[in-house]
Amino acid sequence: MMNGMAIDQCEVLVMTPQLLLHNLRHCFIKMDRIALLIFDECHHAQAKKKHPYAQIMKEFYKTDTVKSPRIFGMTASPIIGKGGSSQSNCTKYINSLEILLDAKVCSVEDTLELQKVVGSPNIKVYFYDPVDHSASSLIRTSRKKLEELKLQCISMIREKVHDFNNLQKNIKGLCRLHDNLVFCLENIGLCGARQVSLFIYSQHCL
């Protein structure tokens, strides 16, 4: 929650929409003290939705009030989900957005002009040699060794644990650990599987 001192000392407040909604409902912030309200991802402000944006506008924004804040919304797309699958749905969503935010949807027409001021990512493409299958025999050997260790551990568990439920639980956990290590071995290689094994070992030693 905000306190009066913070509001009096700051000209700009940044918060989640849910936090703003809480502050408005508890009168820590009053709408007539806000000059400009900026909504990021404003497409969530739909009349039929219970999103905080929509609740803020429906509960506290009054168009007939002289001191109502100006609304500035930003979004990459004014349409939610599959709402733009048809022209009628697209129009409906945009109209709903404009009515609730008491604003007008605007978009850039000249994309070439936009590209001059918007930063573009530097794309780098890396090419790798095909997988060396000569190491597959080492993978098979390691997988066989893991299977042998699993059977040895199961045998040890059966000797030491006599409660049936605990026995099943321990064996199930061991098999899950074995399957995870085999998955790492086959997908990220021997070095990756070794690092995973060391990490698991360190966790059990803590």
CATH of 4-106, one of 1.10.510.10, 3.40.50.300, 3.40.630.10, 3.30.1490.20: 3.40.50.300
Q: What is the mean pLDDT of the chain?
A: 84
Q: What is the pLDDT of residues 108-150, one digit of tens each?
A: 777 787 777 777 778 899 887 765 655 677 888 888 999 999 9
pLDDT of residue 140: 84
Considering 16-25, 41-50, 58-67, the range whose residues carry the highest mean pLDDT is 16-25
pLDDT of residue 130: 65
Domain boundaries, the chain: 4-106, 134-205
pLDDT of residue 37: 94
pLDDT of residue 14: 92
pLDDT of residue 113: 76
pLDDT of residue 134: 56
Q: CA dist 126 to 4, 131, 172, 187, Å?
A: 55, 15, 41, 20
Separation CA 183–CA 129 (nearest Å): 22
Confidence of residue 10 (pLDDT cuts 50, 70, 90): confident
pLDDT of residue 85: 59
Q: Residue type at 29?
A: I
pLDDT of residue 82: 60
pLDDT of residue 1: 60
Confidence of residue 51 (pLDDT cuts 50, 70, 90): very high
Please state the rounded mean pLDDT for residues 59-68: 80
Structure token pair of residue 173: 């956990």
pLDDT at 71 over 60: yes
Confidence of residue 2 (pLDDT cuts 50, 70, 90): low
Q: CA dist 152 to 145, 179, 202, 204, Å?
A: 11, 15, 21, 19
Q: pLDDT higher for 174 or 81?
A: 174
Structure token pair of residue 156: 């040890």
